């Protein structure tokens, strides 16, 4: 029974690390002049590339969901989780309206959280 539990933990750890790598490397830090959701809904051929932008609120929602999973699975400690919660509160405060824009600083802070989470999970 313990071996199965250890295998599950290793599998979850690998999945978390794979997803964190994807959030860090498969998405662009580009901040387009227009709102990203306007570009995505555009019928032109360039709309497709805007799905992979860190500027999109969906990117933040996605990676924060994985960090929450990492916390609940005990891969990241509570003090780091509190930092993440603080980031979420500040991010939500700055995105009350659809017209609110994601900033380079928010993307940089999110990338930093992801990198730190990856280091912590790898050591765990």
Using the structure block, give the residue that is written with the tokens 């603080």. Answer: 86
Q: Please give the residue that has the higher pLDDT: either 1 or 120.
A: 120
Q: Which residues make Cβ contacts (< 8 Å) with residue 69, sequence separation at least 6?
A: 12, 16
**Predicted confidence (pLDDT) per residue in 6-65, tens digit:** 788 889 999 999 999 999 999 989 887 765 554 444 444 444 555 678 988 889 999 999
**Is the whole model's pTM more than 0.95, yes or no?**
no
pLDDT classification of 5: cutoffs 50, 70, 90: confident
Residue 28: DSSP 8-state: B
pLDDT for the residue numbered 34: 63
Whether 92 contacts 70, CB under 8 Å? no
Distance CA 46, CA 99 (A): 22
**Predicted confidence (pLDDT) per residue in 62-87, tens digit:** 999 999 999 999 999 999 999 999 99
Can you give the residue ranges of every domain in the chain? 2-123
């Amino acid at each position: 029974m313990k071996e199965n539990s250890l295998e599950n933990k290793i599998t979850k750890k690998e999945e978390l690390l794979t997803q964190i790598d994807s959030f860090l490397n498969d998405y662009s830090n580009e901040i387009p002049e227009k709102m990203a959701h306007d570009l995505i809904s555009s019928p032109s051929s360039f709309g497709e590339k805007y799905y992979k932008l860190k500027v999109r609120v969906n990117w933040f929602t996605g990676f924060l969901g994985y960090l929450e999973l990492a916390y609940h699975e005990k891969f990241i400690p509570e003090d780091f989780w509190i930092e993440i919660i603080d980031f979420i509160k500040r991010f939500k405060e700055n995105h009350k309206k659809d017209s609110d824009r994601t900033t380079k600083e928010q993307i940089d802070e999110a990338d930093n959280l992801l990198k730190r989470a990856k280091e912590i999970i790898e050591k765990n």
